[in-house]
């Protein structure tokens, strides 16, 4: 696997939507999202064609690596609250049910960010004020 997974942030209780987009993008780029887009194909039998066997093998690889990619971006204390499933699609759905945030959580996250800003003398007052202007301009849609 390449480093597409390196830019994905760890899951917090307020960044699920961004994490979901990043995971879907990363898995799509690596062509591993088949398990999220399609149901598991029937297990191959003696009478299965080569293409059926190939499709099942591709789906299993996608499922296995997708689960690994998702779980490595979830801290242990949050991972323990999720079901121990062997299917990436089920895991992704369970993750969404548990961590998909509503508007109040977004607002709380924004307030936490604003309240955590500290004045840094080396950057000056202008930089400090511009951080607040950034929030006022770019995040006002959350407050409307």
Which residue shows structure tokens 């609250």?
A: 81
Provide the pLDDT for residue 67. Answer: 93
Residue spans per domain, the chain: 7-99, 103-143
Provide the pLDDT for residue 105. Answer: 65
Size (the chain), residues? 144
Provide the pLDDT for residue 1. Answer: 43
* 8-44 exposure pattern, b = at least 16 Cβ within 10 A, e = fewer: beebeebebeebbebbeebbeebebbbbbeeeebeee
CA distance 96 to 85: 14
Per-residue pLDDT of the chain (144 residues; tens, 9 = 90+): 445 555 677 887 668 888 888 999 999 999 999 999 999 999 999 999 999 999 999 999 999 999 998 998 888 888 888 888 999 999 999 888 887 756 556 677 777 777 888 888 888 888 888 887 877 776 655 545
**Residue 94, CA distances (Å) to 48, 88, 130, 132, 144 in order:** 32, 10, 39, 36, 29
Q: Are 43 and 59 in contact (CB under 8 A)?
A: no
Provide the pLDDT for residue 62. Answer: 96
Q: Is the pTM of this model over 0.75?
A: no
Provide the pLDDT for residue 57. Answer: 95
């Amino acid at each position: 696997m390449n480093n597409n997974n390196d830019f994905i942030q760890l899951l917090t209780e307020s960044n699920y939507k961004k994490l979901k987009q990043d995971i879907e993008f990363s898995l799509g780029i690596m062509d591993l999202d088949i398990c999220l887009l399609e149901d598991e194909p029937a297990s191959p039998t003696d009478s299965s064609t080569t293409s059926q066997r190939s499709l099942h093998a591709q789906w299993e690889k996608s499922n296995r690596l997708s689960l690994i990619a998702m779980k490595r971006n979830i801290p242990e204390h949050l991972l323990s609250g999720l079901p121990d499933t062997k299917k990436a699609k089920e895991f992704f759905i369970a993750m969404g049910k548990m961590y998909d945030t509503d508007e109040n959580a977004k607002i709380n996250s924004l307030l936490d960010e604003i309240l955590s800003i500290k004045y840094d003398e080396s950057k000056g007052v202008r930089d400090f004020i511009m951080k607040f202007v950034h929030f006022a301009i770019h995040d006002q849609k959350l407050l409307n």
